[in-house]
Amino acid sequence: MHENKNDLGCCFSNLAEMLQSRACQFPELTAFVFEDDEGNQQSWTFAQLELRSRSLGRWLARRTSVGDRVLLVYPPGLEFIAAFMGCVYAGALPVPATYPKPRRPSPRLDSIVEDCRPSLVLTHSSSLAGLCLDQQSPAISELSWEPTDLVSDDQTNSFEPISRSAENLAFLQYTSGSTSEPRGVMVSHGNILHNLEAIRTGFSIDGSVHQKGVFWLPAYHDMGLIGSILTPIYVGGTSTLIAPTTFLRRPQRWLELMSETQATISGSPDFGYKLAVTKMSEAERDLLDLSHWRLAFCGAEPINPATLDEFATAFESAGFRRSAFYPCYGLAESTVIVTGGQHPSGPRVLHVDRAAKRNHRVVPVAESNGSSQALVGCGQACKGITFRIVDPVTLEAREEDQIGEIWVQGDSVAPGYWNQEATNNETFRAKLVNHGDGEFLRTGDLGFSHEGELYVTGRLKDVIIVRGRNHYPQDLERTAQAAHEAVDLGAAFPVEVEGHEQLVLVFQWRREFRGADHEAIMHAIRTAIVEEHEIDPHAIVLIRPASLPITSSGKVQRKKCREQFLKDELAVTAQWTNHLCSGDELPA
Ligand code: 1ZZ
């Protein structure tokens, strides 16, 4: 589609220039297609996207000042993309947010609003009635909600995007942090353009081939926003989008669209590949042609070597190549991608001694060794990014094959979290002891380097990652406590089931509810967790009053509780275990 290898000249100083340049180069090329649950498709060329963004940019520039935060609360669809770029054109800071459940309080949205104090909320007119704003908290309902799909395009609009330099912020990415302590990563134009270039070179995209992608990743998460929306604009590709819920209901649609559009790039956290294997019959797989899929990225949660094997085997006859897998590691604090390396090299699997690994040492062993554990390499550092493995206590750099905290350096590393100056110094400006090599981002993740490749082994921080999304234990515990009046103190923690992180919830019941129906309590907890957090727990355990391990100051000891759960040492009065496998559908 592109005329020559060099037509991706990528020297932009901000995201608005990026879109304008691509709309000039490829005006008639389809930029985005969105397919809804009924199979209806809407598509925009680069010129249409640019016009729509410019129309919204002009409209917004009259309503906001440069640097104002603008919350984006959209159902999946193309209008989100125009609103995001419209904010960029107007010099406002877009803040993508999860879509709240209708007629329900949204503690997460409340806390984001409280933290970044947006001057406007942009949404789609189809959402306004359904969200029942009068039933949301005053912090949310009193904001000015504007449906941007009602703003019309004006061909004569000659609005010029507000000039922004590399240091100016491009957007806030709320991904990490608990509900009570939200953390909005401040991503600058320089950060995002640096990371997009790291992705472009890592993915070996040189403009000689027109890249097509199919994605179901949520647009409010860094991997979805950057992977399925900003990268396609940066490389002048075509991106076909479906809603995350469409994928969860019918994972087939992801791969059918890959086949129908002859897509070259797509990706998912580990769970998505697993879900596709579990949910597709041989007959359905036989109808697919995945031979054009040259890069299948996989990241955002631990990568299970078995998932890659199962997917590659299941879809081999559809033309999928195992060498297309591109395992990668990243985090919003470094925009998105950190490692992945140069494609194509295919995934590397290292077998290490399990016991040595527990002692932070890496001892490669044969696969046949009874105590071996297989780990998938997440590639080498991407262009312009460096990582180090550091002893989290002494802050000294560790050698190859020693496990430590992953520290990251480069122009993709964000300046910090919005409103969190104290944390920012510790997290984003860490220094190695005895080395004069500048400031690093402390990721809180654990890993090691082996032959230049990063292997992620766990994390220091207390986050639970299920289906590629981070959850803070305290948020899950709070939801469970609110689900039924008999639920007292408890602990949420991850356990590994079939190579995947799964959620376990352990709660004391309140003495005054001695005669309560334990089945009903567990059912209420499960329903609330599924609805609020979209996770189906692996187990829910009710234990005797006052038997939860707590510290002398009354803090829940999650690690101890997990140990007691694994050793069957809890004072259990009732337990429910989920017999669905991790890929099964969430209950309605
Ligand atoms: P977030 C074209 N984690 O999840 C698009 N990777 O960010 C290219 N744990 O801040 C996209 N093994 O929400 C390339 N391999 O969570 C995408 O997630 C590259 O604990 C992957 O601290 C980007 C993931 C972005 C993301 C970050 C946390 C990390 C870590 C965990 C991410 C992982 C992984 C194990 C991996």
pLDDT digits (tens, 9 = 90+) for 505-541: 999 999 888 888 999 999 999 999 988 888 889 999 9
Which residues, judged by CB distance below 6 Å to any ligand atom, belong to the binding site of ligand 1? Answer: 175-176, 199, 222-223, 226-227, 231, 297, 299-303, 328-332, 336-337, 378, 443, 445, 456, 459, 465, 470
Closest-CA residue to 391 (of 463, 460, 439): 460
Distance, C-alpha 231 to centroid of its chain: 15
Ligand 1 mean position to 143 CA, how many Å?
32
Residue type, 246: T
Residue 47 neighbours by CB under 8 Å, 6+ apart: 23, 27, 28
Mean pLDDT of the chain: 91
Question: What does pTM read for this prediction?
Answer: 0.86
| Helix ranges restricted to H, 74-224 | 79-90, 107-116, 125-131, 138-141, 189-202, 222-224
Report, in this order, helix, strand and coil percent for the chain, each rounded to 5: 35, 25, 40
Q: Model confidence at 492, in pLDDT bands (50, 70, 90)?
A: very high
| Helix ranges restricted to H, 407-549 | 421-428, 473-483, 518-533
Q: Model confidence at 551, in pLDDT bands (50, 70, 90)?
A: low
pLDDT of residue 581: 46
pLDDT of residue 65: 97
Q: Please say whether the dihedral angle defined by the alpha carbons of residues 189, 195, 196 and 201, taken in this order, is positive or negative.
A: positive
Residues in the chain: 588
Q: CA 150 to CA 148: how far, in whole Å?
A: 5
- Minimum mean pLDDT range among 262-266, 276-280, 575-579: 575-579
- Strand 453-459 versus strand 439-450 pairing type: antiparallel
Closest-CA residue to 222 (of 170, 149, 158): 170
User: Residue 514 in contact with residue 477, Cβ under 8 Å?
Assistant: no
What separation in angstroms does the CA of 154 have from each of 158, 175, 243, 452?
Answer: 9, 35, 29, 52
- A 10 A CB-CB count for 41 gives 9
Q: CA 215 to CA 236: how far, in whole Å?
A: 16
Regarding predicted confidence, which is higher, 166 or 136?
166
Ligand 1 mean position to 279 CA, how many Å?
24
User: Residue 207 in contact with residue 502, Cβ under 8 Å?
Assistant: no
Tell me the two tokens of residue 271.
């769970």
Q: Please say whether the dihedral angle defined by the alpha carbons of residues 249, 503, 268 and 79, taken in this order, is positive or negative.
A: positive
What separation in angstroms does the CA of 550 have from each of 489, 508, 543, 553?
Answer: 10, 12, 14, 8
Ligand 1 mean position to 131 CA, how many Å?
30
Ligand 1 mean position to 144 CA, how many Å?
33
